[in-house]
Structure formats: structure tokens, C-alpha cells
Amino acid sequence: MSFSRVLIANRGEIARRIQRSCRKLGLESVAIFSEADRDAPFVAEADHAVCIGPAAAARSYLNIDAILEAARATGAGAIHPGYGFLSENAEFSARVEAAGLVFVGPSPQAISRMGSKIEAKAAAEAAGVPVLPGYRGADQSDDRLLKEAQALGVPFLVKASAGGGGRGMRLVTSLGAAGEAIAAARAEAKSVFGDPAVFLERYAPRARHVEVQVLGDANGYVLHLGDRDCSLQRNHQKLIEEAPAPDIPDALRSAMYDAAVRLARGIGYRSAGTVEYLYDPVRAEFYFLEMNTRLQVEHPVTEAVTGIDLVEWQLRIARGEALGFAQGDVSFDGHAIEVRLAAENPAENFRPETGTITLWAPPRTVRLDSGVEEGSVVGHHYDSMLAKLIVHAPDRAQAIRRTVEALDAFAVGGVGVNLAYQRALLTHPDFASLRHHTAALPEMFPGGWTAPVPDDQTRALAALALHLHLAPAPDTPWQSLGAWRVTSNAGRTGAACYWSDDDAPIRVAGQRARLEVILPDGTRIDVEDARLTAQRLTGRTRCRPFTRQGHVLRSGDRWQIYLSTPDGTMMVPLRTLEDQHLQRAFGAAGGADTLSAPMPGAVVEIRVTPGDRVSKGETLVVLEAMKLLQSLPAPVAGVVAEIYCGSGDTVAGGAPLVRIDPEDKI
């Protein structure tokens, strides 16, 4: 079982994370990459790298033959699957072992058994782990499922047996809708997982999602490394994770630990794994959900509170080493929070964002597991998660505060990232007071979340930052005088104008020692000794000093100023006088009557043909980007004049898709 070179069958931040532990143990790493990831950081940082196919995951990161060939060609003795992709694929694990390689993870038998939610719940029951009432039988006929639904009562969930991540899942609140929900869940399960089997389970409203980290070696010794709370979720995808899970009675917490260890021991589990529960605070009960037979995205919070490197121990166990510590040796220190940073726009139904990262300025004082850096290209082929921010503090309140501070110090340009949304979750009173649960988002933001907008002071300071950027500090007294001396001696004040997206000008007048910012409504802000150095904007207003993080970038036909504010980092777009002239000369691209692709993607479906009459907002095209389907609406009402794409086409961001003759011009 000895090996010195590990192939990492994954990409992005988790590939870099595994590389770190490989270096720690003196192991060489092999990166596999698709053509789309050729210039990614995880490729450059590996000891060896092999291109295994085109961008499409099915032809690269899910191509078992290509991965095994890469391992053979590079002399890798082991394969670490990371998470996602093939990490819980029993066939992949079996083929790795059949090729004479070491799979860094549990046995194929354990993966297969826990991969079926029906079998996993049976194993949990056998180990004495509480499960939610429901139906998990082999009879999958409509009659039997509807009969069991009647007996179970609403609300209940229909769930795919082979599912995960919320796919193949439907909530039923009315028995009259049960048949339709079962059919929809079954169809999605068949499409996504290749297995149409479903089961029924009582729905526990306002429950929290709590999980226990286990670690087992090849000798059958299993222990736990505490618990995590992952209750803040969107569409069953976790957003924020923390360790330990707060406000759980000690006796119940111990019962969760014992049940998780019993289950792992009962199936002969080795490597790192996670037993997931629903915790009902009202009834003070917990129920088995599933077991993840892989490293979890949220594993860093457990590492933070235990000081144990989980990836290191995965590798050690795969080499045949026994756990070098006992349960009594595991101690827990403080509280940790992890925030997932994704390229998406939460204010627009979490629309995926793509493009080139022109600014990547993370805080330096906390852990960041990142798959990108400045200059990285974010495409539409893979999951939108870019990085994870991990913060450790003595207690939960301080952990929340430090995480917010870290988000406030984080600036990203070129691609939209959910920094402000995650900040809103962390600062919401429901999260602080533990009123949150797995379905809490509609309660926390009843009308949907709205992104904060820059206030007048922020817009003024953004204009000031751009002004200083375009007129840097002089090197000589002659440069410091410049044109200002003429206007000053003539009794006039030199000024420059900057325009925001609403075409309202912001004027900056005066000299560096004393500048005046005049907002469109006439409000004046006096600033003394203004400086923009090392991405910090400093000065004094009303004799009070201020300092803001400030990044100034050029993007297309405008400037983007990223400025830290009490509500987090905000971007203020501004144009100079030259930009205004150019925009007027050349006009805006595109037209209000044309539907364009908001991002690169693949055309899945075209729902109209030329000559069709459509309403404004009606779906014309379905686009797939970052594993999500985007329904693209008609920009205006009218008649479809031209269609510029076909089903299956790959289109660039901004590409015209459908042109409409507007109703008011027909």
C-alpha cells in the first residue's frame, strides 16, 4: 500500500488543498485537467500535470478511462478523488483498485451501500441510528407509493434513492399533488443519476442540518471529530457551515457521536466520512439523513477546531497506517465558520457569473482555500464555487464578527461573487439567535434579497479615488503646481467630472491638500490630505480621519472603483469625460429588441420559432451554464423575427440569440 505519487482526480480549490497535504507528507502530486483548466493555479502548482480531455466534464473529469491512463502514464500509486465528480462513484473506486492503485477513500462496497439512500437508511436502522418515518420499500409502483403517502400524511418529501444535492427531491404539502411530485422526482432521478428509485420521508419543518465527522482506519478503529452545523442552505446546497453545531444539549450531542461511530464501524468504514442528521430543536430529536463517503466541502471548520489535518489522515490511512490517536486525545478549541464564495448574482435569482477575474484581493489574516487568483478565467462548464473563507475564533459571536470583517476586506473584480449575500446571512438576527433552519431563507428575506447600493458618501469617495488614481501624487514641486496654479491665481477652482450609470455627474474640485466633491444634488463634501496608496484611500473630512480599502480598475468603457463600506465592499462604476464622449460617438451595443446570452453557455432548448407572437418576460431560450439551467425571457412583447442559435450550440456571453419585432412597431 506504499505510494509516493498521488493523482488528484479533481480540480479547483480542493485540488490545491490536497496538494498542500501531499507536500506536507513528502508526496508528489499529479494534476489532471481539462482543456478549459489548462492555465488554472492547481495545474501550475502540481508536480506533474496531464490534460485528459475537453472542457465538458463527461469527457474529462468524469472519464474514468482517461484518469486511469493518466495515473499509469505518470506512475501515480494512488488516486484521491476530492469531492464531487467521481468521489462517491463505487465503480470508479473498484476500477482504481483493479488497476493495482490505492483509492484514497473507503471501499467500493461502503460507497455503494451508502450511495443508495434506501440501503443507507437500512444500515442506519441496523446500527440503532434514528431515522425519519417513511417508505423505503422495493415496490416502486405508483399505487404502492401513493398508498404509503396517504399513510404517512403531509408534509413529506419524495427523494431519489441515488440522489444528492437536492436533485430528485420534491416537497409534498397536499396529498392531491403527491402523484405529480412522485412522477417528477422519479423522472429527474432517472435523468441525473440513472436510477429512478425513490422513497418517501416525513418532512421535518424548521429542522437544522447537523453532521458528525468520522475517521476510520484499515484496522477497524473508528472515532469522531465532532460536529458541524450546515443549516443555511439554498435548494439543499449549503451556504455557511460552522463547528461545533451551536446550542445542542450535551446528551443529544453525545448520542449523535455514538450513533455515527456505530454506523461507520458497522459497515467497515475507513478514511474520512460524514454522517448527516436532521436535528429537530422542538422535539429535541435527531434523524439520520445520509452518509457522505468522501471528504466534505466544509471539512476545514473541523480542522480549525481540532487541529487535525483530515486530508493528511486520509492519505496516511490509505497507506495502511493506524490512527495515531484515540478518541480521548481529540480536543475541541473555539468556534469556526466557513463561507462558500461562488460566482453568482444572488440578487438576480443566483444567476451564474462568468468572465476573467481582474481583481482578487482577499484578506490576509484568515484561511482561504481558493481555486482562482487574479487573471483566472471563470467559465460556464463547472460548479460556480470559487473559494472558501474559513475563520476561527474563541467563540461563535467572535467568529461571526471576524468572518464579517474578513468579507468586508475582500474585493473581487471582473466576475460577480456572492460576498454581499453571505455577509447579509451572517449579520441577519435569525442567524445570530439560532432561529435559522434548512428552509429559512424565504423567512429571512421574504421579498427576496436585494443587494445594497452605494450611498452618497460612498459614491463621493469612489469619485475621489478615481480622481487620485488618474492624477497620482507628484514627484516634483513643478508637477505639483501644474495647471492648478493658473486657475487658482485667476480666482477659479480646477475641477473634473465623473459620471455614474445614471448619467449624473460628480465633480471633484480643488488641489490635493483640499479637495471638494460635489454630488449631483449639490451636496458638498470637503476632503483634506486625500491619498490613494497601496489600495488604501485616506484623508480627513470635517477634521476626522478616514481610511477605506480602495481598488481602481478599468473595465470596458468605464472605471470600476471597489471601496470598503460599513455594508461591505461595493463597486461603483464611473466614466470620465473622455468615456462620455466615446459612448456618445459609438452608441451602446445591441438593442432593446434582441435577447442576448447573459453569459457563455450551451443552448438546451429554443421554445419559439420565427413568426411566433410572444409576451415580454416569456421564456424564449433555455441556456445551461455552470450546471444550472437559465430561462431567458423575451425583452419586449412582439413577433419573433430571427433566431440566431440552435439547440446544442455553445454561445459566448453577449451573443445575440433571438430578435423580436416589437409590438408597438408592428
Q: Are residues 328 and 343 in the same domain?
A: no
Tally the domains of the chain: 6
Confidence of residue 490 (pLDDT cuts 50, 70, 90): very low
> What DSSP assignment string belongs to 572-598?
EEEB-HHHHHHHHHH--SS-TTEEE-S
Q: Considering only CA atoms, which of 382, 296, 311 is closest in space to residue 80? A: 311
Question: In this structure, are 467 and 439 located in the same domain?
Answer: no
Q: pTM of the full predicted structure?
A: 0.84
Number of neighbours of residue 381 by Cβ within 10 angstroms: 24
Condensed to tens digits (0 to 9), the pLDDT of residues 264-311 reads 999 999 999 999 999 999 889 999 999 999 999 999 999 999 999 999
Same domain, 127 and 260: yes
**Beta bridge partner(s), residue 336:** 243, 392
340 and 318 share a domain?
no
- Shared domain check, 126 and 256: yes
Kindly state whether residue 109 falls inside one of the protein's structural domains. no
What's the confidence (pLDDT) of residue 542? 87
484 belongs to a structural domain: no
pLDDT, one tens digit per residue, over 200-239 is 999 888 899 999 999 999 999 999 999 999 999 998 889 9
Using CA atoms, how far apart are residues 225 and 330, in angstroms rounded to an integer? Answer: 7
Across the strands, what pairs with 223?
A: 215
Query: Strand, coil or helix: what is 543?
Result: coil
Domain final residue pick, 586, 619, 634: 586
Taking only the tens place, the pLDDT of each residue in 152-163 is 999 999 999 887
CATH assignment of the domain containing 632:
2.40.50.100
CATH number at residue 223: 3.30.470.20
- Work out the average pLDDT over 45-71: 97
Contact 537, 530 (CB under 8 A): yes
State the DSSP code for 197: -
275, 298, 333 - which closes a domain: 333
> What share of the chain in percent tops pLDDT 70?
94
417 located within any domain:
yes
Cis bond upstream, residue 281 (ω within 30): no
127 is a domain residue: yes
Is 299 within a domain? Answer: yes
Residue with the bigger pLDDT between 373 and 649: it is 373
Q: In sequence order, what are the beta bridge partners of 4?
A: none
Residue 453 has pLDDT above 70, yes or no: yes
Look at residue 649 and tell me if it is in a domain.
Answer: yes
User: Does residue 10 lie in a domain region?
Assistant: yes
The Cα 510–Cα 496 span in angstroms is 9
| pLDDT score, position 584 | 58
- Residue where a domain stops, chosen among 315, 333, 351: 333
Answer whether residue 52 is part of any domain. Answer: yes
- In terms of domains, do 230 and 273 share one? yes
Same domain as 514, residue 419: no
Residues 265 and 127 occupy one common structural domain: yes
Average pLDDT over residues 450-458: 92
Supply the mean pLDDT for the chain.
Answer: 91
- 299 and 211: one domain? yes
Q: Domain range for residue 314?
A: 121-132+207-333
Q: pLDDT value at position 589? A: 40
CA distance 367 to 337: 11
- 172 and 149 in one domain? yes
Same domain, 18 and 83: yes
Same domain for 441 and 463? Answer: no
CATH number, domain at 68?
A: 3.40.50.20
Q: Measure the N-to-C terminal CA separation of the chain; round to a whole number of Å.
A: 74
